[in-house]
Structure 1
């Protein structure tokens, strides 16, 4: 069975979802998540795409990106291939690491962009200990949005989304925090 073609975004923005193959977690340890973010940074330099937000869970990951003048298929083909090689070497595993190819959903409106950022940042609420404090989850960009930690990997563009929440950084952060609390999914 062949894969159908990807829907092309008119804005260049996509919600990208990666999922593990059913037999294991995509990210077994924190170091695996760090490795994936380092690979993302490497390919961001190579392909010059913008990353607006992300969340890496144990068996999947969400990303909100703008491919700029690159190609989403090539970006994530390369990131996922390198990460899969890393997993095979680290865990002496073989076979597919990802469930199918990654999924990319075009983001064509500002309202969907905002809704999606909140959805991605609320993902850690699925973990019991982060149910009431998703900003404490280390492998999400939410804490950077709320100015609770620096963007360690220097891969985020938070201004694109925060500009919808206020004219000053302080106002935007407060309004984004409020939106997160209102939109618990």
Structure 2
């Protein structure tokens, strides 16, 4: 069963999290953390997101993101 649809609104703050499949590691080397942060920076620049906080763990991450439009679901793809 899928999760309920996320309510989206312009200027909202979202807690975004993702975990490795089966709680497996998603960052295997230190430079993978850096690559993830670079990709996140590129996404933020492209869609004008503001990251208020983040936590990168070996098998998951948490982001606190503010979006200027109500298209988070579309932008996460």
| TM-score category (smaller protein) | 0.7 to 0.9
Q: What's 1:52 paired with?
A: 52
What CA deviation, in whole Å up to 9, does each residue of 1:137-167 have, x standing for no partner?
A: xxxxxxxxxxxxxxxxxxxxxxxxxxxxxxx
How far off is 1:5 after superposition?
A: 1.0
Q: Which consecutive unaligned segments of at least 5 residues does structure 2 have?
A: none
Correspondences of 1:117-136 after superposition (within 5 Å):
none
How far off is 1:70 after superposition?
A: 5.3
Correspondences of 1:6-45 after superposition (within 5 Å):
6-8=6-8, 11-22=11-22, 24-45=24-45
Report how many aligned residue pairs link the two structures.
Answer: 77
Select the structure that is richer in helix: 1
Q: What's 2:71 paired with?
A: 71
- When the two structures are superposed, what TM-score results if normalisation uses the length of structure 1? 0.38
What CA deviation, in whole Å up to 9, does each residue of 1:105-138 have, x standing for no partner?
A: xxxxxxxxxxxxxxxxxxxxxxxxxxxxxxxxxx
Which structure is larger by alpha-carbon Rg, 1 or 2?
1
Task: Judge which range, 19-28 or 52-61, deviates more.
Answer: 19-28
What CA deviation, in whole Å up to 9, does each residue of 1:30-67 have, x standing for no partner?
A: 11111111111111111011110111000110111101
Q: In 2 relative to 1, CA 60–23 (structure 1 residues): closer, same or farther, beyond 3 Å?
A: closer
RMSD: 2.0
Q: Which consecutive unaligned segments of at least 5 residues does structure 1 have?
A: 78-185
Taking CA–CA contacts closer than 8 Å with sequence separation of 6 or more, which of the two structures ends up with the larger relative contact order? 2
Select the structure that is richer in strand: 2
Runs of 4 or more, structure 1, over 6 Å off, are none
